[in-house]
Amino acid sequence: MDLLEQFANINFYLLGPYPKGEIGGLCLNIILALLAIGSSFIFGALLGYSRLSCRLYIKYPCIAFIEIVRSTPLIMLIFWFYFFLPYFFGGSVTIFWSAVVSLSIYAAAYQAEIVRAGIMAVPRGQLEAALSTGMSRYKAMRFVVLPQGFKMMLPSFVSFFVSLFKDTSVTYIIGVIELTQTGIIISQRQPDKMYAAYFSMAIGFWLVCYSFSHLARKLEKRIGVFDLESYRPEACRDEFMLLPRRGKIGEEADQSARCIPAGPELKG
């Protein structure tokens, strides 16, 4: 019942104080995530590619950046950019943009590692074959290695995007009015129905994350990343557990079919 009553607040959950104030709620989560994904996609790909560079003055700064960001909690990055961006750019940086910047940098470091893993997962022979036909390293990457690596990166990208979307909720700590913050505001207005507010938040996150992974799975299927057929339960029963396809286990016909026919006896 309490949960149904929360429908009265649905506008606030979805849009925050939008008509009167800035846009917020679940919409803001999505906007934050999309901006972070978009910018980190480009930035992360560049970082990941440069990390594999032969030039040490490109390689080592990238490694340093990636490792520092990856070994720092997101919440610290958010605080860091919240307090330091105004310090460098004057007081004009809003909390929204400091949230976008910190999320993008966080995401870029992780994406760089996904890109690197994807490139390295392509067999070395592919690069060698491309190079031996006279392609430059850049062309070999662009036309041969990356198209194959991208297929392998796709599942990791999807799971990272989903977790990045959930991570946008951490930005409530610097006062971004996204879904978590709206939930907290509502729960404080009605302290006796706190659980309902938190439950609504969870539903909001779940809906977006689930539909995103569902879409992604469809995309994976279309691009043909993995042979999904061979992971069906029926396939497992037949090929992987080596049970007879027809008839009961232990039936004579099956048994004889499985036996290796006896060859002629060897004579000394």
Partner 1 sequence: MIKFITANKWFNNTHVLKNINLEISKGEVIVICGPSGAGKSTLLRTINKLELIDDGEIIVDGMYLSDPKTDLTALRAEIGMVFQHFNLYPHKTAIKNITLAPRKVRGLNRKKATERALKLLEKVGLVHKRDAFPVQLSGGEQQRVAIARSLAMEPKIMLFDEPTSALDPELINEVLDVMVSLAKEGMTMIVVTHEIGFAQKVADRVVFMDAGEILEVGTPPDIFVNPQHPRTKSFMSSVFHIPIFDEKQEEEQESSS
Q: Residue 63 or 135: which CB sits closer to partner 1?
A: 135
Beta pairing partners, 178: 25
Q: Residue 149 or 204: which CB sits closer to partner 1?
A: 149
Beta pairing partners, 25: 178
CB of 118 to partner 1, least distance (A): 13
Q: Residue 14 or 152: which CB sits closer to partner 1?
A: 152
Q: Residue 142 or 214: which CB sits closer to partner 1?
A: 142
Q: What angle do CA 137, 151, 43 make, to 5 degrees?
A: 60
d(CA 107, CA 39): 9
Cα–chain center distance at 137: 28
CB of 12 to partner 1, least distance (A): 48
Token reading at 93: 């940086």
Q: What angle do CA 186, 190, 195 make, to 5 degrees?
A: 80
CB of 137 to partner 1, least distance (A): 9
- In the complex, the residues that contact partner 1 under the rule CB under 8 A are 123, 125-126, 128-136, 139, 143-144, 147-148, 151
CB of 53 to partner 1, least distance (A): 16
Token reading at 68: 């520092």
CB of 52 to partner 1, least distance (A): 17
Asked if residue 186 lies in contact with residue 9, where contact means CB atoms within 8 angstroms, the answer is: yes
Q: Residue 70 or 139: which CB sits closer to partner 1?
A: 139
